[in-house]
Amino acid sequence: MPTEPWKIGDREFQSRLLVGTGKFPSVSAMQSALEASGTEIVTVALRRVDLTGHKDPQADMLEEIDQNKYLVLANTSGAMNAEEAVRLARLAVAAGLPKWVKLEIHPDPRYLLPDPIETLKATEILAKEGFTILPYINADPVLAKRLEEAGAATVMPLGAPIGSNRGIETRAQIEIIIEQACVPVIVDAGLGAPSHAAEALEMGADAVLINTAIAVAEDPAAMATAFRLGVEAGRLAFEAGLSPARREASATSPLTGFLDE
Amino acid sequence: MSGWPGSALEGLPFKRTNTVAKFEELMFGTARLEELAEQARAETRKNFGKTMRLFAPLYLSNECVNTCKYCGFSKDNPIRRVTLKPEEVEKEARYLAQTGFRSLLLVSGEHPREVPAGYIAECVKKSVSLFPSVAVEVAPLETPEYRQIVEAGAEGLVLYQESYDRPAYAEMHVSGPKRNFDERLAGPERGYVAGFRRIGLGVLVGLADWRRELVALAAHVSHLMKVCWRAQITVALPRLRPAAGGFQPRVAMSDRDFVRALCAFRIAFPQAGIVLSTREPEQLRNGLMELGVTMMSAGSETEPGGYTGVGKERLHRTVRGREVALESSEWERAEATEQFEISDERSAEQLSLALRQRGLDPVWKDWDRALTA
């Protein structure tokens, strides 16, 4: 049963699973995982690819991704500030990539937590230049609104630090972001199991981005399939109208039943 | 705890943080090595994936003003010496780029006249068009000198303390500026201020009680992660290898302890890079590929001109600061003397094949100069 399509900017997508391309044991493992995931959007770290136009065989990840099939979303990881991220995004376009950027600015190489100030600055600059911007942020509802006003096409709050596989530790904040957002909300980072992805979609997130959990699985393609199913299940449940969870059992004979008598 | 190193941090400006305590427990506690190995593998996969970053060292000069008991380049060793010209460095770099490397480490002895900061910066400039990532491993410099090197395009700084044990340090470093322990200890922080993005720390295992050295190194890493919070910290535990001068390591560290140490570092500092050089033998390097190591070198030469033979015609000895021509009979062997003998002699290609066989993807390029240019 197909779920509803969704849009980033003017572009429509069916799959609600975005997949990152780092950490895979081999190119072929990555390719089969992408195929199995059913994804339409893949992210590629620009620092891993050749941006000089020389088609470096030692950095040829882009050659291995079918760009007719997947939208390649350049990711600025490695950038520590707005200036570096903006420069990298421009170079990616000059190297022939689409004018879409996953804006990732994390000055701290340990937890890779995003810098909100630099991310907002870079969004302001790149929006004026016509980029479709998908910023990676901490689960901060006010920042999400500020980015939206600055021209971000989506917001991508983290569930937990990148690679941590801890699931949606920021649930309460993400609920507020979803409630307030006028742009798609993509939960990014920290999702370690298909059930985490399902949870995000059940909450009403528009999509999720998964990398580590798929890339380092014993069988990346099988794990990609599992995430595809998790995402579909979560979205279907959301569309079908989940009953809100209740803290206590509700009485089967309603206390206000007398009103109907 | 058995083997507890006691006052390893005495006299050092580092605190025993929770992370250091955790490292001690892992290293000297009762956990079985196999358990640590499993945990180390899981942490490595989570944080770095099934990948291995590869790099190559390029020696600029084996001139040195220091007398260090364990080092082949030690001032009084009658070795064949040379300092490459920046054009020669470029030739060596081109060779390494052709063999597949995209991450370069420029290494040099300490010689303020032959190897000043300006010269190092020149060599960096010659390398950056061929290598997206260039790091330097040179004598500790002042912040403005480091800045010159950063501005030339280097993003990584490697500066091993060698030993954190002050008495052993004083004994090993007989003369020369390297005797200044504290100057060296503060070097990484000066480099950070100057703009280096990757900082490599390490101890040379074999100079003093390695238990204490490991704890001190862990404390240094923990300290730098607070103070230099934007930098990627890497660690290395090179075990001393035979070198000119015939120094015998004072203390040995068994393979088992070595593996345990790398696992303990991985678990205590899940996001730190761990570097493994060609000093270690093939079999051990293969085993460690999955247990925490994130950066490896291959096909390394540890003498200036070692890859292409550049600089040969200028080989000489240095006696009391003056160049002395080689005896005519010596020209047959005509190459500079290496810093130490490598053990794993596989080429870059052979190493990447071995990585693939173990389900690891060799990563050559993991940095783009555009980030910092």
Query: Where do the structural domains in chain A lie, given as residue ranges?
Result: 6-242
Q: Could you tell me which of A62, A112, A118 has the C-alpha nearest to residue A85?
A: A118
Give the list of residues 6+ apart from residue A156 with CB closer than 8 angstroms, or none.
A102, A134, A135, A136, A137, A185, A186, A187, A188, A209
Domain A6-242 matching CATH 3.20.20.70: the answer reads yes
Q: Which residues of A touch B366 (CB under 8 A)?
A: 47-48
Q: Could you tell me which of A70, A166, A150 has the C-alpha nearest to residue A118?
A: A150
Which alpha helices (H) appear in chain B, and where do they start and end?
Answer: 18-28, 33-48, 86-98, 117-128, 143-151, 166-172, 181-185, 187-194, 210-227, 255-268, 282-288, 348-357
Q: Which residues of B touch A212 (CB under 8 A)?
A: 46, 49
Distances in whole angstroms, Cα of residue B29 to Cα of each of B5, B222, B261: 12, 20, 12
Rounded Cα gap, residues A187 and A197, in angstroms: 8
Asked if B300 and B57 count as a contact pair (C-beta separation under 8 A), the reply is: yes
Q: Which amino acid is at B178?
A: K
How large is the ipTM? 0.74
Strands (DSSP E) along A143-251, which ranges? 156-157, 186-188, 207-210
Q: How many residues does chain B have?
A: 373
Which tokens is A167 given? 């699931």
Q: Is B166 helix (H, G, I), strand (E, B) or coil?
A: helix
Rounded Cα gap, residues A131 and A176, in angstroms: 26
Tokens 């593996």 label which residue?
A: B259
Q: Decide if B365 and A50 are in contact by the 8 Å CB cutoff.
A: yes
Partnered with residue B295 across adjacent β-strands are B53, B275
Q: Decide if A46 and B368 are in contact by the 8 Å CB cutoff.
A: yes
Rounded Cα gap, residues A9 and A154, in angstroms: 8
Higher pLDDT, B360 or A108: B360
Q: Give the DSSP H or E segment for B305.
A: none
Residue A225's pLDDT band (boundaries 50, 70, 90)?
A: very high
Q: Residue A56 pLDDT more than 60?
A: yes
Tell me what pLDDT residue A47 has. 83
Tell me what pLDDT residue B2 has. 42
Which tokens is B186 given? 């503060």
Tell me what pLDDT residue B170 has. 96
Which tokens is B296 given? 């490896």
The CA radius of gyration of chain B, in Å to the nearest whole number, is 20
Neighbouring CB atoms inside 10 A of A175's CB total 16
Domain B18-366 matching CATH 3.30.420.10: the answer reads no
Q: Does B115 touch chain A (CB under 8 A)?
A: no
Of A58, A87, A165, the CB nearest to B365: A58
Give the list of residues 6+ apart from residue B200 with CB closer than 8 angstroms, or none.
B135, B137, B156, B157, B158, B159, B160, B233, B234, B235, B236, B273, B275
Tell me what pLDDT residue A148 has. 95
Give the list of residues 6+ apart from residue A108 with CB closer than 8 angstroms, or none.
B229, B230
Q: Does B341 touch chain A (CB under 8 A)?
A: no
Asked if A1 and A236 count as a contact pair (C-beta separation under 8 A), the reply is: yes
Rounded Cα gap, residues A231 and A146, in angstroms: 28
Q: Which amino acid is at A187?
A: V
Q: Which residues of B touch A109 (CB under 8 A)?
A: 230-232, 271
The distance of Cα B320 from the centroid of its chain, to the nearest Å, equals 28
- pTM reported for the whole predicted model: 0.86
Tell me what pLDDT residue B331 has. 64
Angle at the Cα of B197 (from A129 to B271), degrees rounded to 5? 105
Q: Decide if B367 and A78 are in contact by the 8 Å CB cutoff.
A: yes
What's the gap in Å between the CA of A106 and the closest CA on chain B?
9
Q: Decide if B368 and A111 are in contact by the 8 Å CB cutoff.
A: no
What's the gap in Å between the CA of A11 and the closest CA on chain B?
29
Question: What are all long-range contacts of B33-38, with beta carbons under 8 Å and residues at least 24 apart?
Answer: B33/B256, B33/B259, B33/B260, B33/B263, B36/B260, B36/B263, B36/B264, B36/B267, B37/B259, B37/B263, B37/B291
The distance of Cα A17 from the centroid of its chain, to the nearest Å, equals 8
Residues of A with CB under 8 A from a CB of B: 22-27, 46-51, 56, 58-59, 78-80, 84, 87-88, 91, 107-111, 163-165, 212, 215-216
What's the gap in Å between the CA of B21 and the closest CA on chain A?
19
Rounded Cα gap, residues B33 and B261, in angstroms: 10
Q: Decide if B46 and A24 are in contact by the 8 Å CB cutoff.
A: no
- Per-residue pLDDT of A71-105, as tens digits, reads 999 999 889 999 999 999 998 898 888 999 999 99
- Per-residue pLDDT of B200-256, as tens digits, reads 999 999 999 999 999 999 999 999 998 999 999 999 999 987 666 678 888 889 999
Which residues of chain B have a pLDDT value below 50?
Answer: 1-3
**Strands A186-188 and A71-75, bridge-based pairing:** unpaired
Q: Does B361 touch chain A (CB under 8 A)?
A: yes
Q: Which residues of B touch A59 (CB under 8 A)?
A: 102, 132, 364-365
Q: Which of A7, A55, A69, A102 is catalytic?
A: A102
Rounded Cα gap, residues B139 and B109, in angstroms: 7
Tell whether the torsion through CA atoms of B163, B169, B174 and B180 is positive or negative. positive
Give the list of residues 6+ apart from residue B319 with CB closer than 8 angstroms, or none.
B78
Q: Decide if B365 and A23 are in contact by the 8 Å CB cutoff.
A: no
Burial of B319 (0-12, 13-18, 19+ CB in 10 A): exposed
Residue A128 is a catalytic residue:
no
Q: Which residues of A touch B230 (CB under 8 A)?
A: 80, 107-109
Tell me what pLDDT residue B101 has. 94
Burial of A108 (0-12, 13-18, 19+ CB in 10 A): middle
Which tokens is B225 given? 């992660």
